[in-house]
Amino acid sequence: MSTTPLRILLVEDHPLYRRGLRTLLGGVADFQVVAETGDGMDAVRLAAELQPDVVLMDLQLPGQSGHAATREIVRANPAVRILVVSLFRDEDSVFAALRAGARGYILKDADEDDVIRAIRSTAAGESLFSPEIASRVLTWFTQVRPTAPEVFPDLTDRERDILHLIASGKSNSAIADELSLSVKTVANNVSSIFGKLQVSDRAEAIVRARDAGLGRSGKPS
C-alpha cells in the first residue's frame, strides 16, 4: 500500500548545508523535496506555487529574511507549515519566528533523527523544538509578561532602539555614537530592520516608525 509522501520545500542559502539536508531527506522513503532555494522571496513564490506540506526555513537569507518569508507564506497559505532550521539560539530570533507563524524551531546541529522527527511532527500539526529552544520557550511562558503591547514585536530591543533614533532623524553615525556601537553594527541592524518591516528604504521605515509612535522624546516602550 503506497503512502502519499510529505512534500517539503527546502529554504537554505548555504549550498553545502542545503545539499546535506537534501541528501538526508532523499533517504527517507515518504519524504519528497519538491524544490529548494536559498532566497527568501523565491521561497514565498515557491510555497504559493507548490503548496508543500512543510517548509524547512533558514532565517538568514538574501532577498528577504526568513522571518518575513515565514510571515508571508503563512498569511497566504495557512495549510503550509513552517519548521525553522537555524544557527540562531537567541530568544529574539526564536520568538520572532514563532510570532511570524513557524510551527517548530530546531538548531542546525540537531541530530539527523531529530530533524526527521521534527519534520514529521510539523507535518502532523504538532510543534517540536530542539531541547535548548524548548527550554527557552517554557521559561518564557512561565515569566510574568507586560500587559502593554510591544511596538514592532519582531524587532529585537536593540533594533527597536535604533528604529526609534532613525525616526528621530539621526544618521547611522549619530546612532552609533549614542548607543556606543560601531557604524557597521548599526548598518547591519538597519538592514535587518528593513527586512523585518518589509520596507525598501529609510524614508519608508521612518513613516512606519512614526505612525507607531516612535521618534518622539524618550526611549521606545
Burial 136-154 (b: 16+ CB within 10 A, else e): bbeeeeeeeeeeeeeebeb
**Structure confidence by residue, pLDDT tens digits, 84-143:** 999 888 777 888 888 889 988 999 988 999 999 999 999 998 887 776 777 766 666 566
Residues 74 and 47 grouped into a single domain: yes
Number of domains in the chain: 2
Map residue 129 onto helix, strand or coil: strand
CB of 40 closer than 8 Å to CB of 65: yes
pTM listed for this prediction:
0.63
135 and 82 in a common domain: yes
Domain of 90, CATH number, reads: 3.40.50.2300
Mean pLDDT over all residues of the chain? 86
Q: Going by C-beta distance under 8 Å and a sequence separation of 6 or more, which residues neighbour residue 32?
A: 5, 6, 7, 8
- The answer on 118 and 87 residing in a single domain is yes
Residues 173 and 130 reside in one and the same domain = no
Domain of residue 188, CATH code: 1.10.10.10
Whole-number Cα distances in Å, 48 to 10, 51, 74, 78, 174: 14, 6, 10, 11, 42
Q: Provide the pLDDT for residue 1.
A: 44
Region at 7 (left for phi over 0; alpha for psi -120 to 50; beta for the rest): beta
C-alpha 216/C-alpha 206 separation (Å) is 12
Task: Give the residue from 112, 142, 172 where a domain finishes.
Answer: 142
Flag whether pLDDT at 144 surpasses 60: no
Question: Is residue 123 a part of any domain in this protein?
Answer: yes
Are residues 126 and 199 both part of a single domain?
Answer: no
Is residue 13 within a helix (H) or strand (E), and if so which, with residue range?
A: none
Q: What is the DSSP letter of 60?
A: S
165 plus 137 within the same structural domain? no
Within-domain flag for 184: yes
- List pLDDT tens digits, range 12-55: 999 999 999 999 999 999 999 999 999 999 999 999 999 999 99
Q: Which grid coordinates are listed for 23?
A: 541528501
- When computed from its CA atoms, the radius of gyration of the chain, rounded to whole angstroms, is 19
Answer yes or no: are the C-beta atoms of 116 and 28 closer than 8 Å.
Answer: yes
pLDDT the model gives residue 219? 53
